[in-house]
Amino acid sequence: MSALLGLEEAQARLLALAPVLPLENVPVEAMLGRYPAEDVRAARTQPPADLSAMDGYALAPGNGPWALVGESRAGSPFGNALTAGQCVRISTGAVVPDGATCVLLQEDAAMADGRVTASAIPDHGRHIRRRGFDFRASDVVLARGTRMTAGHIALALAAGHRQLAAARPVRVAVMDSGDELAPDPANCAPHQIPASNGAMIAAMLAPVGCEVLRLGPIGDDMAALAAALAQAENADILITSGGASVGDHDLIKPALGQWGAQTAFWKVAIKPGKPLLVATRGAQVVLGLPGNPVSSFVTAFLFALPLVRAAMGSPDPLPRSITLPAAQPLPAVGKRREFLRAVSDGQGVRLAGSQDSSALTALALANCLIDRPAGAPAASLGEALRVFPLQNG
């Protein structure tokens, strides 16, 4: 029997299969959470001229008083040059006239008979935002693959862009399967459990910005599975939950084989989540997650989300870890690397509750995963632990 794949090797092999999607032009205002497909260069200079940083008076050289000869407002410049001994009233964001060397704050100024005096003359250049101090035309303002935030959107617009090129949203089909799954949680027989994995995975994918098609729950029946898979013909990625293990009624592998998918690898040395399946069908990628909800969540976090982010153009799709001290002792680890559902207050980290792979209460409480290496000895109070915050997806 071949050795199980380690986490990093399995992730690398999966990401190498990420679909290459066509590009589309996207309005900048709709780019939240998406990734520019190329470096974004400024089409204009910001600020486009020397601007006042404060309300007051733009002063020409001299010791005062200065003759007030006009006004420069934001969006309505004075339009002429100042000569020695002149000034203009100026507002924040207004163009500083040629000939002005500084801006006198209005609280430091006094005016009488059309002339301005200063309690203290500002230094040369004081309170002036120089042309191009933020960026200049042709500067790279956003690197290719930057995940767009509200600040990035503002920057792209300020740089003169209406649209950016980005990969079209990934089309993901999410299918949960199993005879025990009830589609209606309010109408669940004693031998059933409410189907929750499909909704959970779809919710995990929502912030990434992909298009999700929900399929299921599907019973353990080859014909029903074939009909569901037929609905995933146009998906870039198919994520299944359940039926990928070795039981007599685990039919995902044979159903995928009949559909034309070929297994790339199966089983990873992690707990929970060992029976992870990765397959391909042409350019489509299939990710078969375990059916236990915690196992499904952990493998979606470690594999499905990075795969979708990579397909959408992220150059750094894997979740990032931090180091926190243990707020309680932890037991030794067995032969597989463990990911423990945990709660962190930013100062330390402790278990969220039961670590059983079906325990949803602890999963719902958790805001991070503790990464415990295979064979690690018991961890003592205060020991440094590697932790994956769940909010980073």
Residue 53: pLDDT band (50, 70, 90) is very high
pLDDT tens-digit profile of 3-14? 799 999 999 999
Do 12 and 110 share a domain, yes or no?
Answer: no
Do 102 and 77 share a domain, yes or no?
Answer: yes
Across 139-155, average pLDDT = 98
Strand partners, 341: 369
CATH code, domain carrying 31:
3.90.105
Answer whether residue 279 is part of any domain: yes
Q: For the chain, what is the domain count?
A: 4
pLDDT value of position 249: 53
Residue 244: pLDDT band (50, 70, 90) is low
pLDDT value of position 393: 45
Do 182 and 286 share a domain, yes or no?
Answer: yes
pLDDT tens-digit profile of 163-209? 999 999 999 999 999 999 999 999 999 999 999 999 999 999 999 99
Strand partners, 386: 323, 371
Question: Do 29 and 149 form a contact (C-beta atoms < 8 A)?
Answer: no
Of residues 209 and 305, more confidently modeled: 305
CA distances from 309 to 182, 203, 251, 321, 342 (A): 31, 15, 28, 17, 24
Q: Which amino acid is at 277?
A: L
Q: Using CA atoms, how far apart are residues 319 and 73, in angstroms rounded to an integer?
A: 48
Residue 134: pLDDT band (50, 70, 90) is very high
CATH code, domain carrying 345:
2.40.340.10
Answer whether residue 113 is part of any domain: yes
Question: Residue 292 burial by CB count (10 A; 0-12/13-18/19+): exposed, middle or buried?
Answer: buried
Sole residue written with tokens 């039981």 = 247
Q: What tokens appear for 211 in the block?
A: 């298009």
CATH code, domain carrying 198:
3.40.980.10
Do 34 and 67 share a domain, yes or no?
Answer: no
Nearest to 272 by CA among 196, 369, 204: 369
pLDDT value of position 250: 72
Do 60 and 105 share a domain, yes or no?
Answer: yes
pLDDT value of position 246: 56
CATH code, domain carrying 118:
2.170.190.11
Domain final position from 100, 129, 158: 129
Mean pLDDT of the chain: 95
Q: Using CA atoms, how far apart are residues 299 and 204, in angstroms rounded to an integer?
A: 12
Do 91 and 149 share a domain, yes or no?
Answer: no
Q: What is the pTM of this model?
A: 0.90
Answer whether residue 137 is part of any domain: no
| Domain that residue 155 falls in | 25-43+142-167
Answer whether residue 135 is part of any domain: no
Do 17 and 67 share a domain, yes or no?
Answer: no
Task: Judge whether residue 1 has pLDDT over 50.
Answer: no
pLDDT value of position 132: 98
pLDDT value of position 391: 80
Task: Judge whether residue 32 has pLDDT over 70.
Answer: yes
Across 283-309, average pLDDT = 97
Do 187 and 256 share a domain, yes or no?
Answer: yes
pLDDT tens-digit profile of 252-289? 999 999 999 999 999 999 999 999 999 999 999 999 99
Domain final position from 312, 334, 362: 312
Do 175 and 232 share a domain, yes or no?
Answer: yes
Do 183 and 60 share a domain, yes or no?
Answer: no
pLDDT value of position 392: 52
Name residues whose C-beta falls within 8 Å of residue 323's C-beta, 6 or more positions apart in sequence.
384, 385, 386, 387
Do 291 and 358 share a domain, yes or no?
Answer: no
Task: Judge whether residue 129 has pLDDT over 90.
Answer: yes
Answer whether residue 317 is part of any domain: no
Domain final position from 70, 99, 129: 129
Answer whether residue 338 is part of any domain: yes
Do 60 and 182 share a domain, yes or no?
Answer: no
Give Dmax (Cα) for the chain.
98
Answer whether residue 236 is part of any domain: yes
pLDDT value of position 245: 60
DSSP 146-193: PPP-HHHHHHHHHTT-SEEEEEPPPEEEEEEE-TTEES-TTS--TT-E
CB neighbour burial string for 40-77, b if at least 16 within 10 angstroms, e if fewer: bebeebbbeebbbebbbbbbbbbebbbbbbbebbeeeb
Answer whether residue 343 is part of any domain: yes
The values of phi and psi at residue 43, to 5°, are: -95, 0
Residue 231: pLDDT band (50, 70, 90) is very high
Q: Which amino acid is at 90?
A: I
Q: Using CA atoms, how far apart are residues 298 and 305, in angstroms rounded to an integer?
A: 10
Sole residue written with tokens 């500083």 = 96
